Amino acid sequence: MPIFNAPTHRAVLAACTALMCSFTLASPSHATETVRIATLDMSSGGLAGFGLSALKHLQFLSEKANAEQWAGDVRFEIVPFDTKMSPQEALSLLRQVQSSNIRYVLQGASSSSVGLALEEAIDRHNSRNPGSEIVYINYAAAAPAMTNEKCSYWHFRTDAHVDMKIKAMMQHLASNTAIKRVYLFNPNYAYGQESARAARQFLTQLRPDIEIVGDDYHATGQVKDFAPYISKMMQARADALVTVSFGNDLALMVKAANDLGMARTQIFTLSGNSPGMAPSFGEKAVGNVLLAGVSNFNSNTYGATDLALQYKARMQEDFFFGASEFAMRLLSEGIKTAKSTDPVPVAAAMSGLTVHTISGPVTMRAQDHQLQTPIYVDVWSAKDGKAVVVDQDNSGFGWQTQAVIAPEQASLPSTCQMKRPS
């Protein structure tokens, strides 16, 4: 088993206590083999709550997979490691994973910088250590490079990458002929800059008549008052604001828009369903804030609402990592298809595999191991027990589906030149 530092171990034990450690207790009594899965996300530091929530998602899903035998008689055990959101820490922990003979890694909540470091290190480890291969399943690290120029045969992403989500969002925005003027406003580092580039590119292709009336950036986690920025957008008479800002930045941005009465401007986001957003959104944001993501928990065609309600009743928090369910479904189906738990045949089985998820059938594209999934575009709405059954943060408000962008519409070509094992 891995060696934890004391603060991390206590954090993980606290999370396990919240779960009553049930992910190890609810497995079928006749299970014949256990697959240990290392999670490499953060459980300490400023974003510990986000990382621990991701861990609880995966523990809940592994328990559900065990109870319902998603992988047949194979059961899963989650083994958490704390990366502290540091690529260097993640690489150090990966060595512990290797020495513990854990062959599967799940990661996503602790950023694409961690994901890129892990992807390269696992690819290198596997090429040097045949017979000890590790498979990396990524449920949230969304840098496009991970399934383009940096792609690896051993990496499988079950979330849509950022450009896919922005493409879907811009398709929906472009369909609204009332939108003539768009303002781009994003965090001032590579993620925000690349997202702004993608938004501009897709808008130019889809609606060349749309005018980009602003393209600004803000420091991440440092702005306390977004009112001056919102005033500038209002002066520019923007019909839509496109932002990939997240966390407290997004919450404060929407609050400022509400306070200043920016009702005519729709705000398009990728992170509006994150915990803690609801108090800043409130009633004033109804109909004005939109979200693009790979799942909607008020769309129960494939059981998403049922899953979200089960999780909320059990964990007393919202289920929002939809791609984590895709990850566990993919691994389970890969094991069943391969009739093995060895990473080599399982990876071969997952490459090109179609699995059924809470968002319907999705396919792991063999070329680059980027999941081909629908993208939901949702709007902030009042809970009504019909279109909105699951609210966010017990606020009485949640996300109502406005459009579903089909996988073939959300898909993007890849530059991946994958090196496959002989």
- Looking at residue 7, its pLDDT comes to 39
- Residue 319: how many CA atoms within 13 Å on its side-chain side? 28
- Looking at residue 13, its pLDDT comes to 40
Tell me the two tokens of residue 234. Answer: 């209002």
CA 393 to each of CA 17, 277, 280, 299, 398: distance values in angstroms, whole numbers, following the listed order: 22, 8, 11, 18, 9
Indicate whether 101 pLDDT > 50. Answer: yes
Judge if pTM exceeds 0.85: yes
Are 213 and 184 contacting, i.e. CB atoms less than 8 angstroms apart?
no
How many angstroms from the chain centroid is the CA of residue 304?
A: 15
Confidence band for 29, pLDDT divided at 50, 70 and 90: very low
Sign of CA dihedral 48, 54, 59, 60: positive
Are 286 and 254 contacting, i.e. CB atoms less than 8 angstroms apart?
no
Q: How far is residue 211's CA from residue 215's CA, in Å, rounded to a whole number? A: 11
- Looking at residue 98, its pLDDT comes to 97
Q: Which residue has the tokens 């509400």?
A: 258
- Tell me the pLDDT tens digit for each residue of 328-382: 999 999 999 999 999 999 999 999 999 999 999 999 999 999 999 999 999 999 9
Indicate whether 159 pLDDT > 50. Answer: yes
Indicate whether 30 pLDDT > 80. Answer: no
- Looking at residue 25, its pLDDT comes to 39
Closest CA to 135 of 97, 161, 169: 97
Q: What are phi and psi of 343, to 5 degrees?
A: -60, -30
Percent of the chain residues topping a pLDDT of 70: 93
Mean pLDDT of the chain: 92
Structural element, H or E, at residue 402: strand 397-405
Residues 145-165 have a mean pLDDT of 97
Indicate whether 5 pLDDT > 60. Answer: no
Indicate whether 255 pLDDT > 90. Answer: yes
- Looking at residue 20, its pLDDT comes to 39
- Looking at residue 357, its pLDDT comes to 98
Indicate whether 22 pLDDT > 80. Answer: no
Q: How far is residue 88's CA from residue 244's CA, in Å, rounded to a whole number? A: 26
Residues 6+ apart with CB under 8 A from 325: 61, 295, 307, 357, 358
Beta bridge pairs of residue 41: 82
Confidence band for 45, pLDDT divided at 50, 70 and 90: confident
- Tell me the pLDDT tens digit for each residue of 194-233: 999 999 999 999 999 999 999 999 998 899 999 999 999 9
Coil/strand/helix, residue 195? helix
Q: How far is residue 126's CA from residue 37's CA, in Å, rounded to a whole number? A: 17
- Tell me the pLDDT tens digit for each residue of 166-205: 999 999 999 999 999 999 999 998 889 999 999 999 999 9
Confidence band for 110, pLDDT divided at 50, 70 and 90: confident
Indicate whether 87 pLDDT > 90. Answer: yes
- Tell me the pLDDT tens digit for each residue of 263-294: 899 999 999 998 889 999 999 999 999 999 99
